[in-house]
Amino acid sequence: MQLDPFISGLLALSATSLGTWIALHLRAQAGTSSTGAGRVMRHQAIRMVLTVVCLCALSMAVGAAAAQLVGRASRLGDEMRVHYVIRLEDGTEAFNSRTHKEGKPILQTAGKCTTVGFGNGLIGLRPGDVSTFTVLPEDGFGAEGSPKLNIPANAKLTFEVEVFAVGRAARLNW
């Protein structure tokens, strides 16, 4: 999985700061025997400042990476990676995304799916959520049904959805 360029930059900054801190620390240690106390204290102050900068940058990078991976609740128009099952009222499975397109999670857009009910059911879900909701015929496939999915006309449907990613993370290679 690829990280966002901003997060990669923060991680690089952290690594650079850590390298600088190590170099200054080694110089300060080497210079303690032949220099005065003022020079040693200056190196210690620089080392402390660089340590704080390094820790802040690392903290920001880890926090941003965690937010990217954990994710936030979906909003109208967000892309999402989901697996879902559509069941008819009698419990018959009409569609299962795990058996479709190599079993990879499917890219959907919250609030803008084939059926109004399914799209609206995705809004507010977070990565890791598993949700089950019912969609009435008028918000599902309606009077036409979906012959392709073996969904009859005026079918009341149950969607079982598992969310894997929301937003930018949904566009990464899956």
Cα(161)–Cα(96) distance, integer angstroms? 10
> What is the mean pLDDT of the segment spanning 10-32?
61
> What confidence tens digit (pLDDT) does each residue in 85-144 have?
999 999 999 999 999 878 899 999 999 988 999 999 999 999 999 999 999 999 999 999
43 vs 118, higher pLDDT: 118
65 vs 53, higher pLDDT: 53
Domain ranges across the chain: 5-70, 79-171
pTM for the model stands at: 0.59
**Span 79-171 CATH architecture:** Roll (3.10)
Task: Using the structure block, give the residue that is written with the tokens 């690829």.
Answer: 2
The answer on pLDDT for 84 being more than 80 is: yes
List, in sequence order, the alpha helices (H) in 3-71.
5-31, 37-70
Quote the tokens at residue 92.
């018959």
> What is the mean pLDDT of the segment spanning 71-79?
89
Q: What percent of the chain has pLDDT over 70?
A: 59
**Distance, CA of 163 to chain centre:** 10
* 125 CB-side CA count, 13 A: 31
* Residue 3 confidence (pLDDT): 53
Cα(174)–Cα(170) distance, integer angstroms? 8
> What is the mean pLDDT of the segment spanning 66-95?
86
- Closest to 88 in 3D by CA, of 161, 162, 155, 160: 155
* Residue 114 confidence (pLDDT): 85
> What confidence tens digit (pLDDT) does each residue in 164-174 have?
999 988 888 76
Q: What percent of the chain has pLDDT over 90?
A: 49
Helix (H, G, I), strand (E, B) or coil at 124: coil
**Distance, CA of 106 to chain centre:** 15
> What confidence tens digit (pLDDT) does each residue in 103-115 have?
899 999 999 988 9
79 vs 66, higher pLDDT: 79
* Residue 1 confidence (pLDDT): 45
